[in-house]
Structure 1
Amino acid sequence: MNTTTNTATNAATNEATSTATNTTTNAVTNTATTTTPKKPVTITTIKDMKQKGEPITMITAYDVAMARNVNEAGIDMILVGDSLGNVILGYQSTIPVTMEEMIHHTKAVVRGNSTALVVADMPFMSYQASLTDGLYNAGRLLKETGCTAVKLEGGQEVCELVHKLTTAGIPVVAHIGLTPQSVNQLGGFKVQGKEVAAAQQLLADAKALEAAGAFACVLECVPAALAKKVTDELITMATIGIGAGNGCDGQVLVCNDLLGISTGFTPKFVKQYANLHDITVNAVKDYIKDVKERSFPAPEHTFKIDDSVLEKLY
């Protein structure tokens, strides 16, 4: 009788202890899993990701709210692109964008950033006129905004500047293929590198930019097979594709395109993951309706005052 009771008691105790131990272990494990923060992404991180074959994620952002959102999602890199001219400021191209506008928006993004590597575009004519201009304006972007790197468009013709910038401690992301700042010279927004000479030039530009010190390079609107060839030929410089196929080291998209914020033409290479335009329009329509019908603000949205206070006002 006592043996049976003790056995049952011990079994129950052991089971309870085991359950408690497992519960505690799982709780600790789950807590560790959900609370471990992502480490800040650095230039070294990007280089390591290329070597390991780990895809690099990049997205544009132009303000503090979007920066916070994409950080929470776990993005690797944020590009404060001169595309803000089109999607934020309403320009027809990136050409009118100024240094002051780039600094203004990059500062906002950096304030909302915690872990991603922030790259700021150098706008048109901020570096084309002279090496001195390029060095000065790149320095302004880093000093005044707190970004980690600058991005500039061009191939071998900008390699001397890339070398001077990296020597001065300014990390550089290059940009070849379709370069929007040169759209007038290119004759419009066209796929680049489809002919033998153009493909050879693209590969030569990429290798020269790598030798000059760029740690990454955007490949825009380049045939997928050519982009993969370029990527495979490079040793240290990561390729970030946009309209360049799945063989690049990473991908970048404009946030407004990805989220379906903008209306109008959508490039072939864009995958729209949400339709925030319709969500926004419908939400504002609901707000207008509620205000017109005086159903907003409701009591739960208002503040109260004691009646005795009101009585003393009359």
Structure 2
Amino acid sequence: MSAIETILVAMLAGCLRVSTPFLFVSLGECLTEKSGRINLGNEGALVLGAMVAYAVSYQTGNPWLGVLGGAAAGGALGLLHGGLCTLARVNDVAMGIAIMLAGTGMAFFFGKPYVQPSAPQLPSIPLGFWSDVPRIRSALNVSPLFFLGIAAAFGLYYIFRGTRMGLRIRIVGDSADAARALGLPIERIRLFATGAGSALAGIGGAFLSLSYPGSWNEGLSSGQGLMAVALVVFARWNPLACIGAALLFGAAGALGPSLQTVGITWGYYLFYAAPYVATLVMLIVTVAPGRALAGMPGELSIGR
């Protein structure tokens, strides 16, 4: 294979893997923000979900139970955030930062015994069975969680567009006054959306510890939960657009390792900073005059 082909194959492999946690966290944040609440605490849910998933997989020998454990841990943290935000004069953004610190702190404290042990990993789907090229076969070993994330995106899109529950979430997120006039339980709906959104973030964390990179350590997340907020804004609060945005972030994250595969080491740290540069560029583009509020739920605290 030529150098260009090698880079493209490596970027494809990295894109499919790196994009998966971005997809889950962005879908969770999209669900939460559709109800009119922003949750910066999903970074904590991602890290705590990764630790709990790894611990459950190690203790039970079943990585799928680990995924359920990661979702439960993330959901519990989201319910805590949602419950505290119902209190008087509690700011969503400030509380989200506190929940993020609490989640990462608990993960680091309780996860210390699991830094060295090796937990069973999730199996991969060998989509490259048709090729005789080892690099292509390796690149197309895709985690089932990637396809679960795609299905979740289509499921959320259908819920928002075609179900009564989705309509209620959108009404609560767009206008609290209209929701009160219709007799909708605003805080209960937001609590559900926040908990479910953080559960999705927990699944994203489970992917990190049980699939790629497939270990537990304190530097596992690299701020992916926070970057997902920018991703949701870029996707205009559309679950299907979150798929493309997550793949774009995944490709940016795979740029550095892909270039290293062909021996390009110049600008090593610059290439690895590509996801963060992409975040800044997306924020600059999306806050252009006349575009910043397109599709934005009216009750979000960042819009009032």
TM-score category (smaller protein): under 0.3
Q: TM-score, normalised by structure 2?
A: 0.23
Which has the bigger relative contact order, CA under 8 A and spacing at least 6? Answer: 2
Kindly name which structure, 1 or 2, has the bigger radius of gyration based on alpha carbons: 1
* Higher share in strand: 1
| TM-score, structure 1 normalization | 0.23
